[in-house]
Structure 1
Amino acid sequence: MVAKRIGIIGLMTVVFLLACVCVLYTAAGQIGAIGSISVSSSPSGADISLDGIPINAVTPYTIQHLDSGTHTIELFLEGYQDWGPTDVQVTSGETSVVHATLTPIPTPTPTPPATGSISVTSDPSGATIELDTPAGPFVGPSVKTPYTFTKVEPGTCTIKLSLEGYQDWGPTDVQVRAGSPSYVHATMTPIVTTGSISISSSPSGANVYLDHTYKGITPLTITDVSHGHHSIELTLAGYQDWPTSVEVKAGETSYVSATLTPTPPATGSISVSSSPSGARIYVDGSYKGRTPETITHVSPGSHTVKLKRDGYYDWSTSIKVTAGSTSYVSASLTPIPYPTAGFISVSSSPSGAYIHLDGSYKGTTPKTLTHVSPGSHTIELEHSGYYDWTSTVRVKAGSTSYVSTSLTPNPSPTTGFISVTSSPSGANIYLDGAYQGRTSASEAFIIVAIAPGHHTVSLDLSGYQHWETGVDVTVGGTSHVSASLVPSSPPPSTTGTISVSSSPSGANVYMDNAYKGITPLTITDVSSGTHTIEVKLEGYQDWSTSVQITAGGTASVPVSLTLSPTPTPTPKAPTTVLCVIVALIIGGIIALTKRIERK
């Protein structure tokens, strides 16, 4: 009984466990029912909608974690028709693939235009255009080439161009098609109103005048000549003038041919003399004899006469010869002075050697020394790293003597050089107090054969401060000295200035009784010391003072003038009484005289 119960309980336990396992297996199967969809399109970049909801993704794209079952996919791309919706079956643990080929939205075919256009150009441009269309003449403002007519009805149109100075062009037909342009180009033909004249002559080279205006030389074609009659004249030196008249027609060429007639020969003469005589005569470069001489058969015009004589400068002039007359030339020849100096051409290998002529520095090789007095001279050449070279050369007046040498290297020189320049040039050079020469504006002055060590170089130039410096000289080397001279201070002034002003102004100023001007006045260059200043103005009292002047100083003299006093008039009463008394006396005398006469 107990065993039976135990068996039943065991069986029930096994059944329960199997039931639990089944439940768990079923639940596990439901949880794992998840799949995915891979979506692509041609072209790519399409927006994806899943089950009617945009998922914010574009193709290609894989949608994951989808429940098993049926889902709806739609694709959208601008310019293409919408794709879908289409159903996709999702299986647990698998990826479903969806690929869509999108269809472009067709572009609507444009409706062809119902009109065309005409583009009109011309050479030259600016021609007025007349247009007739199937609908009638073009109505509107006047238009000129180049111009394009638009909205022209299809059909046959007529174009005509006109331009002042040119022949009318057209009319010509132009076919206009709807939706396409038509082109018209016209080359305008000028209206010919002028002609040409072709002129030739024998001989050629004659000057041509048309209506008295110079045009060129033959052979010549003159164009753009107005129609009508014109005068032609040909001139050529040595030939008679040739005139004629010619008629010119528009668009045609008139021909003129002239055979020129030589003019009778006409010549003149040149009478040539010189002091001294015997000079060789050349006329226009050709020898004609010796002075005095009269040269005949000379063509009219300007000629060059040149005289040559040994020991004298050449002499030349230009003279005009007239046919049938004699032109006169008289020359006073200038002697060539006998040379008093010669030249020495100095060169060396290597070049750049310092040249000394009779102990005076002259520059560096190669160089030609000028203004050398005749006689024997000593040439010395010195070059750093080479032995000094000395030679004697003889100079003749007016000639050049040549000196050329190859210097010998000196492996162990014992002296050095100093190169001296100054601004300004012309300064006296002193080496350790000994005069050496003057600085030059063209090249440095070289002091040679200087013992190694420290030396003093000083420069002096009138109007400039003394300049001095120390310089170290090395064996075989060249030390350089360049001086910028400082102008000397001007001497101290020994005079002063007096500034005179007055109230009122315009007064005459006298210094030491000498008139100087009117106020206000500044008197300069007044010597040091005491001076008397007087100021005078009509209607005012004279004013004077003493002024002390110091060198370089200015003394101010302000003056306030005083009006002159008005004179007091003399009393007139005594004069009047005296006149009355005199009159009474005279009157009494006259009355007494008349009374005596009556008695």
Structure 2
Amino acid sequence: MMITNSHLAFGICILLSILLTIPVSGNETENDTIFINHEEIFPMEDYSPEPESEKPDELTFISELPTVEGVGGKSGWFRIMSDPNAAQVTFDGVSIGITPVITRVSSTGTPFHTVEIELENYKKWTQVFYENPTPGQTIRVFAKLVPDECCADLRITSAPSGAQLLINGRFIGNTPKTIKNLMPGLYQVTLSRSGYETWHKSIWVSPKKENSYYVILEPMFAPITSGTLLVKSYPEGAEITLDKTVRGKTPRTLTLPEGPHTITLTLDGYLPYSTTMFIRDKEDARIDVTLTPGGNIDTPLIIASKDRETIVDISSLEEMGDMAAGFMQRSGTEKFLTEVNKPGGQFQQNGRFITVIDEEGTVMAHPGAPSVVHANLTSITDRNMIPYGEIQISVSQSGGGTIYESDITNNTPDGGIIISSVRSVLENLIITTSYPLEIPLPAITPSEFSLLSDKDLLYEEEFRQIREITLSVNETSEDGTGEFSEIIAALNHADENGIVQMPVLQVLARNGGGFCYMTDPEYPAFLTLAYVTGIHENKAQLRWISTSEPDKKAPEKIES
């Protein structure tokens, strides 16, 4: 039986098909890494089956080589292609152009031909053919070029893990999985897991980059009560760990069931950041974090949806403070401070957090600002030049209370306000429970700042309204008299966040006076900056910047 060229080609095709069905080595269900013979899985980029037509005019280039024609001058063709194309082709030592190309060959010449294909950044491809085309026949040559840097690894991980991984339709194993020895090129990657949407992506694998992909599989059905959380960081690319499960990198929007969730952000070269948030049904919440390089103060800003209530339950702050004090008395000061400073520890719950300073203002524990630990808090001021910590010390030494103060962890241009429940001094330590509000710091100019504490008010139209009343230091009820008794009553009543302003103002007056943030007694929906003087004849002056529109005339001095 005579073996023709067509028989030989058919046999080679059968052999290749058998080789391509050989399973990959290694235990795919247990091992994290799998080695691939790069001839088993080919990239898909720029490759498509060639048409059956043998017309040479379908090619972009036709080469006419000098040929020694046999009897009758019969000839055939060599059709040469490559992936990628545009590679330089040398046929029997003569350059004939770039792929795809076709060249005429005598059917009766010497049946020995060398094809060389070269492309920059790819290995040279060479093959010898011991045959001639029969008259009118086209011999097809296809070269899969291999990059000089061969080969590349591909790492696929997913949340949740255990997803089935397919590459170009072939099952490779379950995530997480590293596939080694892949040829550079484009691959179709598919992940599937019961209860989650199937994920598809075309991935370009290159030896010149890190081919690592983290995939968040989306549940087929969102929880019945759920909200969304947009997690952003500066710089971007921080890994998000939500409730002990890695959920991708910032920036990312997550769909979460209603309830409390713990979020931790980590990035190489930066301190980890952790917080706890309560997601409400149909809420669109955000968290923006400026990560701390090395060991400086980190500056988180948590922003809930527009519909989120800024009202906080004061009793929950007081209960958390009591819990912290009890822990310190049972476990000792050193263990207590270590626990408070621990990111994501038990003293950070649903946005509430514990801080500790001593009576001189030295920071002993602050989970949101680790770089200020052991620094004197009163030596640091906010953007309105108000020292941090001074009001905490005054209120704590007077038995404790609830105050508004500037958030030291918020260094955005607008700053932020927190509500703080300050306990009375315990073993020379001041334990405070705080909660951030969706309220920026009032914007105060240097001139307005000076006016508040000036001995005599300057009534000039270019300044915002400065309001002033005289307070009785012993006034504890709404028994103010005169035209402005309603203002006195407002100061003695709890505002919408449960804070009564009058006790705080009286504490400041007894301690020689000072600045504080408070709700405007005339427009209680807004926060403002106030200043109270020291006591003189059992009275003190209270001044604040009105949040109403400025009047055309100068503000009046008010006395109760």
More helix by share: 2
TM-score, normalization by structure 1: 0.20
Q: Structure with the greater relative contact order (CA < 8 A, sep ≥ 6): 1 or 2?
A: 2
TM-score, normalization by structure 2: 0.21
More strand by share: 1
